[in-house]
Amino acid sequence: MPDVRGETVADQRCFDVSCEPGLVIVRLFGEIDDRQSQMWRDRLTAEIQLRGAPRFVAFDMIDAHPKNSMKTRFEVAAYCRDLMKRVEWAALLLPVSVGGALVVRIVISIVATSRISVVASRPELDAVLASMRRGDRPKG
C-alpha cells in the first residue's frame, strides 16, 4: 500500500480515495467491473467538487484486476483525459495483469499528455508521492 498520510474519504471493497493538501491518491484493488469503475470515478468526482481539483493525483493500480467492458475502459480514458485538464501531474503504478496494462495504455494514448509518471513498484510510487508532497513535479 502506498504511503497515504491524508484523510481516507472513501474505502470500498475495490478502491479507496485519500486526500492530502494538493494531492489525491486513488487505490484500486481486486476485481474492477463496470459498476465498481463507475463508483471510483463518482467518488473522485465528488471529492474534487467538494475540495477543488488537486495539483497532483496518483493511481495505485498494481493490485487491480479490471474485468470491465471495452466501453467502460474508453469511458475511464475519457474521464482521465478530462481530469488531466484540471491537474498538473499524475502518477500511475501499473497493474500486474495484462488486462490492466491494456487499460493503462488506452488511457495514456487517449489522454495524450506528457504530465504522467508511470512507475512499476511501490517504492517508485512512494518516491513520486514524496516529490508531490514537497510541491515538486515528479521527474519523467
pLDDT in tens, 80-125: 889 999 999 999 898 665 555 565 665 666 555 678 888 888 999 9
Domain residue ranges in the chain: 7-133
pLDDT of residue 25: 95
Task: Write out the three cell numbers for 68.
Answer: 470491465
Q: Provide the pLDDT for residue 13.
A: 78
The CATH architecture one would assign to domain 7-133 is: 2-Layer Sandwich (3.30)
* pTM score of the predicted model: 0.82
Q: What is the pLDDT of residue 71?
A: 93
Kindly state the cell numbers that stand for 89. Answer: 501531474
Question: What is the rounded end-to-end Cα distance, in angstroms, of the chain?
Answer: 22
For residue 49, is pLDDT > 70? yes
Characterize the bridge pairing of strands 15-20 and 23-32: antiparallel
Looking at residue 139, what DSSP letter applies?
P
On the question of pLDDT at 131 being above 60, the answer is yes
- Grid cell of 129 as nine digits: 508521492
The arithmetic mean of pLDDT across residues 61-87, rounded, is 89
Q: Residues 13-28: what's their mean pLDDT?
A: 92
Show Cβ contacts of residue 40 under 8 Å, excluding neighbours closer than 6 positions. 10, 12, 14, 15, 17, 26, 28, 32
CA angle at 126 for the pair 45 and 11, rounded to the nearest 5°: 40
Band of residue 37 on the pLDDT scale cut at 50, 70, 90: very high
Q: What's the confidence (pLDDT) of residue 120?
A: 84
Share of the chain above pLDDT 70, in %: 77
The mean pLDDT of 54-73, rounded to a whole number, is 90
